[in-house]
Amino acid sequence: MSREYKVGVLGASGAVGREVLNCLEDRGFPYSQVKALASARSAGTKLEFAGGEITVEEVTPDSFKDLDLAIFSAGAAASREYAPMAAKSGCPVVDNSSCWRMDERVPLVVPEVNARVLAQHKGIIANPNCSTIQMLVALKPIYDAVGIKRIVVSTYQAVSGTGQKAIEELAEQTRQIFNCRDIVREVYPHRIAFNCLPQIDSFTDNGYTKEEMKMVNETLKIFGDDSIRISATCVRVPVFYGHSEAIWIETARHIEPGAARELMSRSPGILVVDEPENLKYPMAIDAAGRDEVFVGRVRADISTDNGLTMWVVSDNLRKGAATNAVEIAELLIRDPELLKTNWTW
């Protein structure tokens, strides 16, 4: 009989945490127990899981001592506090927050791109930013085949990337507009309904936002290639689920769009939908609830030599967060060496 594992999900009551529970069930993860953890405020909440319910427990320093692994989706502050505790107690952590992504001790992993670096982990593995994940899944086969010198990306990101309150704000503002009522803003600095906000996270000294710089810095770390030049513009749009990206790349060697399309269609995690003559291309409404990265509108960039441009869409709560984390957990349990328990922090 194959082994089963005790799994903790910190932040289980949040939007990503609930999706982690869905992924564990959907993908048939071999668990014997799933412990839902959150702050004291959410303790006692009942969550649907595997045809029944589980009760959220308040997280404490002792919550991880009897677990085989944990997936964190509770924000950077909670990860900073509890991830080292979990690792010290022999429970490896896959962390969805931004806390550990650029830490030199922590591998930043997209399984289709750089699974090999998992061997370097010391009890904490970082899940990249949602927009970075889907972009690199799409670009990995092209990078391997012909190299990439430059990336320019514009993102169109769903409100679910901000969390449950943002989902509710978009829904409520839409109702307010249709009923000619005053617009109430609580999550975003401006109205999000029927609007686009060219700001995700706060601005940095170079004029880029933190979200944009995450895409830059995480791409360099995941590819392990500091020579790639990257520029990003990240926009919040009035969509509930699914991030979309317009990506321009300059390759080191020439590749025809058809060849790039073929490479991506044969690569894990990618679904090519590219029949513009039949009005078929990736859309957020089609990606919602799916684990694939959808790629379409692959064409030559007429403004530069060795240029390609494409449209990439993925469910930000699934592949952009929960699915990627569960896939990392699946890799951990396949190799007993990756579950060793002598980590120190």
Residues catalogued as catalytic: 130, 243
Nearest-10 Cα torsion for 23, 29, 32, 38: -30
Query: What is the 3-class SS of the chain, one letter each residue?
Result: CCCCEEEEEECCCCHHHHHHHHHHHHCCCCEEEEEEEECCCCCCCEEEECCEEEECEECCCCCCCCCCEEEECCCHHHHHHHHHHHHHCCCCEEECCCCCCCCCCCCECCHHHHHHHHHHCCCEEECCCHHHHHHHHHHHHHHHHHCEEEEEEEEEECHHHCCHHHHHHHHHHHHHHHCCCCCCCCCCCCCCCCCCECCCCCECCCCCEHHHHHHHHHHHHHHCCCCCEEEEEEEECCCCCCEEEEEEEEECCCCCHHHHHHHHHCCCCEEECCEHHHCECCCHHHHCCCCCEEEEEEEECCCCCCEEEEEEEECCCHHHHHHHHHHHHHHHHHCHHHHCCCCCC
Contact between 139 and 110 under an 8 Å Cβ cutoff? The reply is: no
